Structure 1
């Protein structure tokens, strides 16, 4: 690995000669591979796997080698997510500071590693808004959150400045800001090619603009989580110091064991409670994190006027009727309701848009209305089904749901590994002769994989076209969980 000379000089001065030499050796080694288990879907039998725990993440594990994730049906079913171990440290903020239900924003969320993690550990009854500014990346974010299967999620596609329209709306905001990517050198050679001191200058200024845009959306007393995947103090400590001085924020410290070998403030002098992951000390890539609390004297704590407006608008829409009310019959709504678990019907409401039926938290209806008035919402809750002609077709999101789908409402058919791969390629599936006609939920190792419609001589594959495995061959050696 040929590191830029200016990076070597800067980092050597920052760490000192002895520490830098250890750091440089670590960068020449293969990066560790880590995953995070979705325990709402899959209770992994630890006796079947020799996995080493990620100390700061409740469901994080290191793998001995990289698997062929693309060809693992459990990966596509949302049973686990491939995530860099150091970035799982975000969990510690929520474990130590989020004790009650919150409304949280993951501002720079694609492809979804931190969002799926946050959704697993947020207190029950919380709402997560996951945002991505780039349109095609927001679709990848929505896909990964759909596979993860939690219903209390909204996906938006907006610039950070758009959130200025939502003052004092969020209890917690994660800003995993775009950075110079020094912590990605081992994983991505392009990161080395694109690095420069000029880019570092551009990045720290862009990061401050993002924080300035989003700060007003944080409630007084709320928490901002600031993180990067870089080492330099311009994008890390110096920006945290700027946030504190610019907005009067309170830095929050974390109670962490010394054996985790997490590095603190690299600037010296005043020791800020910030957290660096250096590859020669911790098993992971470069990661930096700090948490800051917004002072309570900072304006209102709730967006009362907009929420009232949304209620009035909702009543007006109900009186006037909506296009979807004519496209979706009461019979189809009844069918969709029958697909849901009976014990959640008081907590979730069925909403309609054009030909689609979704289930969304009754508790956060007003908040969703406010978001739709001010932002580009591309997904909210769990899509239950879509009307085509007279039929209601069950949505793939319903199959992926961990808490919405009623067990036993669809006939299930267990498939082999080969059949699962055919399905995930959106190829034809042949079911057993005993399989009834109609919609059937395929399972692999008893985990829902998705729907088909059995029409007798064949089964129509309902896997989303844009999510299919595009490779037409299988590797000679397949390694899966």
Structure 2
């Protein structure tokens, strides 16, 4: 990897004698790490493997090699998420400062690593709103949120300025702001050609603007968790200093272990946490926690102007549908045409406000769609942790048939499988639905989620394969 000369000069000035070790680390192999989904009962991989734990994340694991994730049905089932280990340090900030149910905004959330992590970390009864302004990326975000299976989530696709108008709505805002990406050089070697001092300055200014835009939506006394995947001080410490000086925030410390080898602030004395690849097993990452001043400010309250459409009665919910969820009485129905979603209480409390002011991609659980006299269960229902385990007959598939299902190909189900809507599983993890007609099964896996490649590697390794 050829590093830009200006990057070398600037980073050598930051690291001094450590720069040679840092540069050597950028030429080494990229560590592979995952987070398992404990709500779905995913077992720990790498049993007996030394140094397999990501020590700052209770559900994080390093893998000895990069596996065939596209061809692991458990990846598609939301049993785990492939995430860079350094960014899992977010867990320490949440565990230190979030003790009761909150409304949390993940502002720049795609593709969903921090959002799926937050949905596992936040106290029970919390609401997570995951936002991504770029439309193509917001669809990927919604897919990954659905696969993770937590119903207490809403996915939106808005500019930070639009969300900032929702005065004092959030207790926590996580802003992994767009940056120059220096910390990803090893993972994406082509990105070195896009780096420049001008882009660093552009990204630093963009980060400040994003925080300004969203600041009004954070409650007094609320937390801002600011992060980047870059090393320079302009996008990191200098922006933290700016937020403190201009917005009156207070930077908060996070307890860390010496063995993690996390680097403290390189400029100013505000608490800040930086990961370098020659010291920690992961890519470059920076994080700081700030508390908004707890001033007495009148909260702006919004009143919904939406009225029920007259003359259009919502479809009747079939009795069988009411029994699909483990705790059905705690959910309320929300119809959009013939599509039924179910909202748990944290979603229900804020949904009318968000529907009026933001572009909502998904909220709660999509249960299914009424077509004539039929109710077709949705993929989100199959993957939700709120699905009652015995709500549908099941068909357990081997690896070959599971991959056929995920490619949306035709299937023959095991003899004796009941007719009707059947939940497809692999190693006990739900993948989705089919409609079993007896002699064949209609594959209901979403067309836009299917495995598109025709290539299958000769040697397929998954997280539950012997390593």
TM-score of the superposed pair, with normalisation by structure 1: 0.94
CA distance in 2: counterparts of 1:207 and 1:440, whole angstroms: 47
The yes-or-no answer on 1:37 pairing with 2:22 is no
Pick which of 359-368 and 115-124 moved more.
359-368
SS of residue matched to 2:380: helix
SS of residue matched to 2:219: strand
Check conservation: 1:355, 1:388, Cα contact below 8 A: yes
SS of residue matched to 1:110: coil
Gaps of 5+ in 1: none
Check conservation: 1:347, 1:363, Cα contact below 8 A: no
CA distance in 2: counterparts of 1:397 and 1:364, whole angstroms: 16
Residue matched to 1:350 = 333
Q: 1:100 to 1:86 in 2, by over 3 A?
A: same
Check conservation: 1:108, 1:131, Cα contact below 8 A: yes
Q: Equivalent residues in 2 for 1:57-456 (5 A)?
A: 57-267=57-267, 270-297=268-295, 299-300=297-298, 302-303=299-300, 305-306=301-302, 309-310=303-304, 316-317=307-308, 321=310, 323=312, 325-326=313-314, 328=315, 330=316, 332-341=317-326, 344-402=327-385, 404-456=386-438
Q: 1:72 to 1:101 in 2, by over 3 A?
A: same
CA distance in 2: counterparts of 1:47 and 1:472, whole angstroms: 29
CA distance in 1: counterparts of 2:13 and 2:159, whole angstroms: 36
Residue 345 (structure 1) shift: 2.6
CA distance in 2: counterparts of 1:49 and 1:395, whole angstroms: 38
CA distance in 2: counterparts of 1:47 and 1:475, whole angstroms: 21
Q: Deviations over 1:218-258 (max 9, x none)?
A: 00000001000000000000000000001000110011111
Residue 347 (structure 1) shift: 2.0
Pick which of 67-76 and 189-198 moved more.
189-198
Q: Deviations over 1:326-364 (max 9, x none)?
A: 4x2x2x3433212122xx233211211111111112344
Candidates 436, 439, 458, aligned match of 1:457: 439
Residue 416 (structure 1) shift: 0.5
Residue 176 (structure 1) shift: 0.2
Q: Deviations over 1:115-135 (max 9, x none)?
A: 000000100000000000100
Residue 474 (structure 1) shift: 1.1
CA distance in 1: counterparts of 2:150 and 2:283, whole angstroms: 28
Q: Deviations over 1:121-174 (max 9, x none)?
A: 100000000000100100000000000000000000001111122011100000
CA distance in 1: counterparts of 2:346 and 2:62, whole angstroms: 37
Q: Deviations over 1:286-338 (max 9, x none)?
A: 000001000111523x54x31xx23xx57x52xx5474x34x2x2x3433212
CA distance in 1: counterparts of 2:390 and 2:339, whole angstroms: 23
CA distance in 2: counterparts of 1:409 and 1:69, whole angstroms: 29
Check conservation: 1:155, 1:379, Cα contact below 8 A: yes
CA distance in 1: counterparts of 2:80 and 2:42, whole angstroms: 11
CA distance in 2: counterparts of 1:266 and 1:361, whole angstroms: 44
CA distance in 2: counterparts of 1:99 and 1:322, whole angstroms: 46
Q: 1:467 to 1:386 in 2, by over 3 A?
A: same
Gaps of 5+ in 2: none
- CA RMSD between the two structures: 1.4
Residue 408 (structure 1) shift: 1.1
Residue 272 (structure 1) shift: 1.5
Residue 47 (structure 1) shift: 7.4
SS of residue matched to 1:139: helix
SS of residue matched to 2:216: helix
Residue 46 (structure 1) shift: 5.6
CA distance in 2: counterparts of 1:45 and 1:241, whole angstroms: 40
Residue 43 (structure 1) shift: 3.4
Check conservation: 2:419, 2:437, Cα contact below 8 A: yes
Q: 1:205 to 1:46 in 2, by over 3 A?
A: closer
